[in-house]
Chain A
């Protein structure tokens, strides 16, 4: 069956550093992959979409890579800030977008 895995442990980093979150998938060949941010008590909010023919996508301090050979996407937040603390979800698609379990990121001042 299709499986999505993200960093199993919470990620704690110092303010100003780059945070790197991992999304791995198996038994699946997604045409694209979405990343969402979820704050406590709120619904997920869409951040970025990257297609299989795009190796890298950037939006302000965010960068996403998509390696279809490794079946992996990396999500980077550069110059991280305490306001970036949240849970980040990856969601490969199409064919009924499936969400990963999420990675909790804490940026320490």
Chain B
């Protein structure tokens, strides 16, 4: 029972490079989320997807794009990485649409450093 799987676990990029963070869930959840977590800042929502085919901006969307490839997969893309995007990125999923009282299930994160 894998739950939420994120790849890669670690990545180092140079400023200006692009990359895609992958996330997949096997719980048949409708909603999926991308967060970043920085020391003292807590989890901040980047983008979320309430259902397959829909995506919406969260609190800190600038510099990121997302794709809800299908019900299982939700990817996060950095088109031109900046040092300010150095962070730990978490993907999560939950059972129904955004704003429901279903708990979120998290992956173990991608640790991204941008030099």
Q: A96-B48, A96-B58 are in contact. Are A44 and B43 (CB under 8 A)?
A: yes
Chain B stretch 65-111: residues in CB contact (< 8 A) with chain A: 90, 92, 98-101, 103-109
Most chain A beta carbons < 10 A, residue from B90, B100, B101, B105: B101
Q: Report the contact-size class of chain A (Cβ under 8 Å from the partner).
A: 20 to 34
| Distance in angstroms between the alpha carbons of A102 and B81 in the assembled complex | 27
Q: For B42, give the chain A residue with the smallest CB separation.
A: A101
Contacts of B44 in A (CB 8 A): 99
Q: By the criterion CB–CB under 8 Å, are B107 and A43 in contact?
A: yes
B45 within 8 A of A: yes
- Which of B92, B100, B103, B108 is packed against the most chain A CB atoms within 10 Å? B103
Cα-based distance from A41 to B9 in the complex (angstroms): 10
Chain B nearest CB from A54 CB (Å) reads 12
Q: Is the CB of B99 within 8 A of A96?
A: yes
In whole angstroms, what is the CA distance A96 to B47 when docked?
A: 10
**Contact status B101-A43, CB under 8 Å:** no
Bound together, the chains give a CA A36 to CA B103 distance in angstroms of 9
Given A45-B106, A51-B101, A94-B99, is A102 in contact with B42 using a C-beta cutoff of 8 Å?
A: yes
Residue B32 lies at the interface, judged by CB distance under 8 Å to chain A: no
Interface residue from B41, B45, B48, B103 paired with A34 (Cβ < 8 Å): B103
- CB < 8 Å neighbour of A101 from B35, B41, B101, B107: B41
B4: Cβ under 8 A from any A Cβ: yes
| 19 cross-chain CB contacts under 8 A | A31-B101, A42-B108, A42-B109, A43-B106, A43-B109, A44-B90, A44-B104, A46-B103, A46-B104, A49-B101, A49-B103, A89-B42, A94-B98, A94-B100, A99-B42, A99-B44, A100-B42, A101-B42, A102-B42
